[in-house]
Amino acid sequence: MKKTEVKTSQRPMIKRMQLTMKRTIEPDLSQFHLLKIIGQGVFGKVRIVQHKRTKRQYALKYIDKSICIKQRAISNIITERTILERIHHYPLLTNLHYAFQDDDTLFFVLDPMLGGDLRFHLEQQLNFPESQVRHYVACIALSLNYIHTRRIVHRDIKPENILLDQNNYAHLSDFNIAIQFDRHQPLAWSRAGTVAYMAPEMLAKKGYSTSVDWWSLGIVAFELLFGVRPFRAKSKEELIHSILCDPLVFPQNVYDVISMDCIDVLTGLLDKSPYQRLGHHNFERFKSHKWFQGLDWDKLEKKQLPSPYPLDKSNKVIQNEFKDDGLVYSTKRMSLPVTVDDLPVTEEARCRLQLEQEFLNFDYYQTEENVKSASFYDRFNKWFN
């Protein structure tokens, strides 16, 4: 057979292809040192890991496929995986760095949040000082503005989904029921999230958009300040009725606990009209409110301001009170993809195939093009949306 000659003009292209191949080694568990466990969820645990090559630490969130299938949560996991890739690296979100899977488990490699979630701290402290709540609210408001400009609605803002880093900055996490609106269909009608934090327009199924996240932030802020939510009831039906119909009522000692400016922010966030709600479609109005007077929003966004209440480094989350689960290193790759001739015959097999095909591997640092693509995506959104 005649030997194929490589033309001189083709050599640069071949070299680029070779470099790309070197950079596209798929991530797997064997590339990380497994360290302490810092959390536990419905589908699995979260532990600190260290990348062997870069020495950087991350949070490894791993999800048991069998449990995911039994809980009928496949679409939620795929949604979270997709949205986390689209929101890039924003300082006040829990960002995705890698995603991969083996036959039994899905893996998310995320920013490490060593301070735990706000629910943990709320149960420990019962409530927070106004200045601390102001700091948390400002952090989450910046996160909401960031995702909303990308037509993404979180739909499940609550203390459990707000994570603290070791410097006590609040980060928005858990995007498994988030949605990204189509430019031509800017409304949704389905209920999603936790009823106690759902906005009236979502409960009424009248169509909603990003406004629901600002309502949820108001509920969270109220709960952090007073240790209780503003709307409470003995049953789900009564709670829905209360959120839809009852006026906002503050505790009797409200003036001893918070300032008038804080009351005004809570009242604005918990306005039952989504069109009048503070933060919705007018983030500059939110930022310029007197409650935030003196706050340097740019430095806050870059996490350059000292937190008003540094975390106690002896708390259980940071010190790790979780039992090890025996997760072991694995260099095992996924089994060979199923072919058309080997179509699955059981519902579980179909679900596993869906996970294999749609939970794609992701490596944020795979090539330098990621950063360029991210900045282009941002510019594209500004130009055409």
Binding residues: 61
- From CA 250, how far away is CA 201, in angstroms rounded? 22
Neighbours of 132 (CB within 10 A): 18
213 catalytic residue (yes or no): no
Q: Which of 156, 165, 271, 363 is catalytic?
A: 156
- From CA 118, how far away is CA 317, in angstroms rounded? 11
Tokens coding 212: 């629901």
Residue in 20, 23, 22 with CA at minimum distance from that of residue 12: 20
**Residues in CB range of 149: below 8 A, 6 or more apart:** 381
Report CA-CA distances (Å) from 128 to 168, 212, 349: 13, 24, 48
Contact 92, 76 (CB under 8 A): no
Annotated binding site for ATP: 61
Q: Could you tell me the strand order of the sheet in which 96-101 lies?
A: 32-40, 45-51, 57-64, 105-110, 96-101, 362-363
Which residues are known to be catalytic? Answer: 156
